[in-house]
Structure 1
Amino acid sequence: MNETTVTLVGNVATNVEYRETVTGGVARFRFAVTARRWDRERGLWTDGPTSFYSVSAWRSLGMNVAASVSVGEPLVVHGRLKVREEEREGQRKTFVDIDAVSVGHDLTRGTAAFRRTVRQNPDASLAESKIPQTAPVDLWQTPEPAVDPALEPSLEAVVEGVSADLVTAS
């Protein structure tokens, strides 16, 4: 309820590792975020320090990340911030993790082609699935209007009407 959510813009730093677990699949990768600052003295943009985050994406998001993301690609990651400390080799280390809620390519730096996934009940076979298995649908396409053929005028009637309008207009 009182979780800290963050949105990060950066680049994929490692290969995405996908694993099936008891609670569902998870995709994990390291994410690099580099601050850019305007240097007034030199009159140009310079890179600041780079911060690295471990990103985890669960279930269908994890499957889609594993199928869509490669090293070096620019992403926008939105999720819950988790900071943990561990003692390793006698030293205290801090790790910053993100449990991703949403992941997408950063379209300010390139283009992407979206493909909708078909969700299926994992316990049912394709034949039992309630989701119809159809060809992909272009959701932006304007549907053809439904026309009752009995109400549509014949070609001859349209030509007669146009001819009558031309005769009266002249």
Structure 2
Amino acid sequence: MTDSITITGNITEPELRTMPNGDAVLSFRIGAPHRVFDRAQQKWVEKSTSWYSVSAFRGLAQHAFASLHRGDRVVVHGRLRLKEWENASGVHGFAAEIDADSLGHDLLFGTTTFAKDESRSAGAVAESWAPAEATPDTGESSRAATDGRDRELALAGAQSGGADQPF
């Protein structure tokens, strides 16, 4: 089953990987809380949280990794897939996965700054890249080395290989 879905919630730590063909893949989980207003207590009460696994690919993966952090409130739009699973003990269930088409911060909870990727706006396809802190043998990255603006600079340098190419 694949359907279009939009989810708003808080994300876990995004993880960036590079596929053997060079494409970037970002994955994280998003918790979408169901809240109702309790008139007796005069406050919002969380009833339950639905969890989804989210994957983003290529340019969207690169930009989201530079922009999103654990705990950020985001809006995810993409294609929903429900997968049935069963473990060794015979317990079975369903997992909800979203292949993201669009990602962004939920501006109800704060502000953000947008920096346009000039190489994409000109119609050029961005080159595949591996983040500067990636381990060569696995392609997995660590967020410990960079944060905030430092991470953006590291990603720009890793993608361009120098200052002569736009990020």
Q: Say whether the fold is shared (TM-score over 0.5).
A: yes
Unpaired runs of 5+ residues, structure 2, are 129-163
Question: Which amino acid in the other structure matches residue 99 of structure 1?
Answer: D
Q: Which has the higher contact order (CA 8 A, sep 6+)?
A: 2
**Counterpart position of 2:147:** none
Which structure has the bigger radius of gyration? 1
Unpaired runs of 5+ residues, structure 1, are 124-132, 137-170
Greater shift, 38-47 or 27-36, is seen at: 38-47
**Counterpart position of 1:116:** 116
Question: Which amino acid in the other structure matches residue 79 of structure 2?
Answer: R
**Counterpart position of 1:73:** 72
**Pairwise CA distance, 1:135:** 9.0
**How many correspondences in the alignment?**
125
Q: 1:110 to 1:53 in 2, by over 3 A?
A: same
- Counterparts of 1:97-108 in structure 2, within 5 Å, are 97-108=97-108
Distance 2:44 2:27 in 1: 31
Contact 2:16 2:61 in 1 (8 A): yes
**Counterpart position of 2:29:** 30
Pick from 17, 20, 28 the counterpart of residue 19 of structure 1.
17
CA RMSD across the alignment: 2.4
Normalising by structure 2, report the TM-score.
0.68
**Counterpart position of 1:83:** 82
Identity across matched positions, percent: 36
**1:53-96, CA deviations, whole angstroms, 9 ceiling, x for partnerless residues?**
10000110011111111000110111101100111122213110
Normalising by structure 1, report the TM-score.
0.66
Contact 2:118 2:166 in 1 (8 A): no
Q: 1:135 to 1:7 in 2, by over 3 A?
A: closer
**Counterpart position of 1:5:** 4
